[in-house]
Structure formats: structure tokens, C-alpha cells
């Protein structure tokens, strides 16, 4: 019997984008670690034979310092998606004209750097809105991947804010960072957004592939969370990961697993991000854990890019419709 499918993606959040969201001074230098991220993740992906989707920030694609890293991604056969231009997790506050400008600017930069005109999108910090979904449809996108259907978003935001250097206005701006408790009521399995008519007439439904959470409990199990648990007990983290994969199989969920650069980098690689969960580990320790967990994913599922996953779901013709509820 053939294995069910899974997709894997990596949000290519750069050093400056973490500093910006956290309110750290100096983020305007747009410091980059993307060469180090490529060094850390590409060999492991090649070892597994995986092709995944990298959601790229437009400003990084436009920066000449990142040109070699961008080429390495596409030369290795990976797919790229749009992760906005400025990486602002308050994208849901943008007006429609601002959203068109933001997406278009990122599209142009990513195409120039990577040679791919992307129609895949994920909002920074899971930021999304009804207006954004409509703009994505108007611009011909074939996938949104901005939802995380868990109740843990506010807990993750509280953890992040504990060490953040933010004004009251900035905290309000980031008040939906990592999502809200309402997100837990959205489906775990892929579906399509049934969108209202736009300026050009009827809009095509927009497929949504959520970042997968463990069915039933609805807790995130992508490696950022598992690595945090591994800082307490690697055995418990492994059990957590395998249990989530088993729950996906039991619940008939084809998981879409999310990665971040700091899943591959440790405190020895980037001490300026010591505030981030699991940054007490070395990069080598993290990569050893990821190798073990990725092999268990590979045994249970056939890993695809998000674009290929979306194509197969579309061809199956079974995605249910859901009305937008982002506000």
C-alpha cells in the first residue's frame, strides 16, 4: 500500500526579522545568517532526498548579500514561496492596496533572485485577514498556508513577549502574533476559502493547507516545539513527535510540517537570538534530533513540496469550502 503524503516547508525568517519582531535595537541593519542556514539545512535535506518549500522574505531576496543563498536553494531543487516583503506579523492590519504592493514587491524580488514566480503564500507570524485572502485570489495564488489551528498561540505570544523590548503600541501591533484561541476552531485538514466577489468579479476559492497540529489535542508538533521539549527531555520530545505522527495517521491527516532556521542553528551559531526557545542547544545537537525525527516522518509519509501537495489535493477534488472568518 502506498504511503500517504506529507508536505514540509521552512519559513526563511532572517536574523533581522526575529530582532524586528522582538523589538531589538539594530534590526534596521538587516543582519543576515542565510548562508549559515543553507550550510546547516541543505545537507540534511539532501541526505533524506527531500525537496521542500522555502517561504522567502522579499527584502532578503532583494539583498545582494543573500544572492548566493537564494541560488543554493533553487539549485538544490527546492521550491520557493512568498513570505511577504517586510516580514511584519501585523499584515492583517494592511489595507487592500497595501497588500497588493507588499505581495507584488516580494514576488518581483523573489523571481529576480530565485528565477521562480511564486503563487504560494504564508503570512509572517501566521498573520492573515479576509482582505489578504481576497488579494491572494486576485493575484492568482494557488495556495495559502497561514493558519495554525491550535489553542496555544496566545501562550507562545506570552512566552515571546516576556523578554521583548516593546512599547505598548508595538505590543498592540503584535497582539495576534502566533494566532488567537479562535484559530483552534479551524480545520486541521486542508480546505478551500469560499471568497466573496472582488473588483474583477467572482473569485476562485483559495486552497488552504494549515500548518498541521496533532489531531484531537490540537497542539503544534513542528520541530520548534519539539526542540523546546527536547531541552527538558529528548526522550519525551521523541515520544511527542512520534505520537503526533501516529495521531495524524489515525485521523487521516496528511501533515504539513513547518520548519524554521533556528531549528537547525544553536547558540553556538547565533548567540544574538539566545531569547528564542531551544537556543540553549548547539546546532549539531539540534540537527541530530531533526535527523532522527525526519526519518520517522519519511518512514510514515511520502514527503512533497507544498506546491505538489496542493496540486494533488486539487486534482482529488475533495477539499471542502469554508467561509473566511479572519476579520
Do the Cβ atoms of 127 and 146 come closer than 8 Å?
yes
* pLDDT-derived band at 264, boundaries 50, 70, 90: very high
Listed residue (327, 325, 324) closest to 197, CA to CA? 324
Compute CA 299 distance to the chain's CA centroid, rounded to the nearest angstrom. Answer: 23
**Mean pLDDT, the chain, integer:** 95
We report the CATH number of the domain holding residue 169 as 3.20.20.370
Domain ranges, residue 306: 5-214+254-261+301-322
Q: How many residues does the chain have?
A: 327
In a domain, 57, yes or no: yes
Let me know the angle formed at the C-alpha of 91 by 85 and 96, rounded to the nearest 5 degrees. 90
Listed residue (318, 231, 323) closest to 279, CA to CA? 231
In a domain, 208, yes or no: yes
Return the higher-pLDDT residue of 165 and 83: 83
Chain position carrying cell 473569485: 203
Residue 263 backbone dihedrals phi, psi, to 5 degrees: -70, -25
Q: What is the mean pLDDT of residues 292-313?
A: 96
Spell out the alpha helix ranges (H) of 233-279: 234-251
Which pLDDT score, from 0 to 100, does residue 68 have?
Answer: 97
Q: What is the mean pLDDT of residues 80-97?
A: 97
Whether the pLDDT of residue 327 is over 80: the answer is no
Whether the pLDDT of residue 311 is over 90: the answer is yes
Q: Hey, what long-range contacts does 25-34 have (CB within 8 A, 24 or more apart)?
A: 25/165, 30/59, 30/60, 30/63, 31/272, 32/60, 32/63, 32/65, 32/66, 33/261, 33/265, 33/269, 33/270, 34/60, 34/66, 34/69, 34/70, 34/261
Which pLDDT score, from 0 to 100, does residue 276 have?
Answer: 87
% residues pLDDT > 90 (the chain): 89
Helices first, then strands: H and E counts in the chain? 12, 10
% residues pLDDT > 70 (the chain): 100
In a domain, 135, yes or no: yes
Collapsed DSSP state (helix, strand, coil) of residue 93: helix
Over its C-alpha atoms, the chain yields an Rg (Å, rounded) of 18
Residues 6+ apart with CB under 8 A from 148: 126, 178, 179, 183, 210, 211, 213, 220
Listed residue (258, 277, 223, 56) closest to 147, CA to CA? 258
Buried b (16+ CB within 10 A) or exposed e, 163-185: ebebeeeeeebbebbbbeeebbe
* pLDDT-derived band at 324, boundaries 50, 70, 90: very high
Query: Hey, what's the cell of 146?
Result: 497561514
- C-alpha 303/C-alpha 31 separation (Å) is 32
In a domain, 221, yes or no: no
- C-alpha 129/C-alpha 124 separation (Å) is 12
Query: Hey, what's the cell of 51?
Result: 525537496
Which pLDDT score, from 0 to 100, does residue 239 have?
Answer: 97
Return the higher-pLDDT residue of 240 and 159: 240
Based on the structure, what is the number of domains in the chain?
A: 1
The one-character DSSP state at 220 is B
In a domain, 182, yes or no: yes
- C-alpha 228/C-alpha 115 separation (Å) is 36
In a domain, 192, yes or no: yes
In a domain, 162, yes or no: yes
The secondary structure of the chain in percent helix, strand, coil, rounded to multiples of 5, reads 50, 10, 40
In a domain, 272, yes or no: no
Which pLDDT score, from 0 to 100, does residue 268 have?
Answer: 94
Do the Cβ atoms of 69 and 54 come closer than 8 Å?
no
Which pLDDT score, from 0 to 100, does residue 2 have?
Answer: 82
Q: What is the pLDDT of residues 112-133, one digit of tens each?
A: 999 999 999 999 999 999 999 9
Listed residue (204, 227, 201, 219) closest to 292, CA to CA? 227
Q: What is the pLDDT of residues 207-226, one digit of tens each?
A: 999 999 999 999 999 999 99
Do the Cβ atoms of 255 and 248 come closer than 8 Å?
yes
Q: What is the mean pLDDT of residues 302-323?
A: 94
Amino acid at each position: 500500500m502506498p504511503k500517504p503524503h506529507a508536505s514540509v516547508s521552512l519559513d526563511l525568517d532572517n536574523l533581522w526579522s526575529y530582532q524586528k519582531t522582538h523589538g531589538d535595537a539594530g534590526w534596521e541593519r538587516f543582519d543576515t545568517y542565510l548562508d549559515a542556514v543553507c550550510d546547516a539545512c541543505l545537507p540534511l535535506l539532501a541526505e533524506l532526498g527531500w525537496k521542500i518549500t522555502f517561504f522567502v522574505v522579499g527584502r532578503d531576496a532583494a539583498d545582494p548579500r543573500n544572492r548566493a543563498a537564494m541560488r543554493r536553494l533553487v539549485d538544490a531543487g527546492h521550491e520557493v514561496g512568498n513570505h511577504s516583503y517586510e516580514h511584519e506579523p501585523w499584515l492583517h492590519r494592511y489595507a487592500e492596496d497595501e497588500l497588493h504592493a507588499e505581495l507584488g514587491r516580494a514576488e518581483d524580488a523573489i523571481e529576480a533572485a530565485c528565477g521562480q514566480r511564486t503563487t504560494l503564500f504564508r503570512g509572517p507570524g501566521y498573520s492573515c485577514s479576509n482582505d489578504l485572502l481576497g488579494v491572494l485570489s486576485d493575484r492568482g495564488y494557488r495556495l495559502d498556508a497561514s493558519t495554525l489551528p491550535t489553542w496555544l498561540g496566545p501562550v507562545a505570544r506570552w512566552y515571546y513577549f516576556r523578554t521583548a523590548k516593546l512599547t505598548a503600541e508595538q505590543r498592540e501591533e503584535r497582539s495576534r502574533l502566533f494566532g488567537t484561541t479562535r484559530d483552534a476552531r479551524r480545520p486541521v485538514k486542508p480546505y478551500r476559502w469560499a471568497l466573496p466577489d472582488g473588483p474583477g468579479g467572482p473569485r476562485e476559492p483559495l486552497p488552504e493547507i494549515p500548518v498541521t497540529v496533532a489531531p484531537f489535542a490540537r497542539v503544534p508538533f513542528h520541530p520548534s516545539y519539539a526542540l523546546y521539549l527536547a531541552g527538558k527531555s529528548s526522550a519525551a520530545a521523541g515520544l511527542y513527535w512520534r505520537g503526533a505522527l501516529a495521531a495524524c495517521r489515525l485521523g487521516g491527516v496528511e501533515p504539513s510540517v513547518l520548519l524554521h532556521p533556528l531549528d537547525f542553528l544553536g547558540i553556538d551559531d547565533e548567540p544574538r537570538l539566545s531569547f528564542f526557545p531551544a537556543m540553549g542547544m548547539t546546532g549539531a545537537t539540534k540537527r541530530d534530533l531533526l535527523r532522527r525525527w525526519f526519518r520517522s516522518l519519511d518512514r510514515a509519509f511520502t514527503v512533497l513540496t507544498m506546491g505538489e501537495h496542493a496540486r494533488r489535493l486539487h486534482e482529488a477534488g475533495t477539499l471542502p469550502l469554508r467561509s473566511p472568518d479572519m476579520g
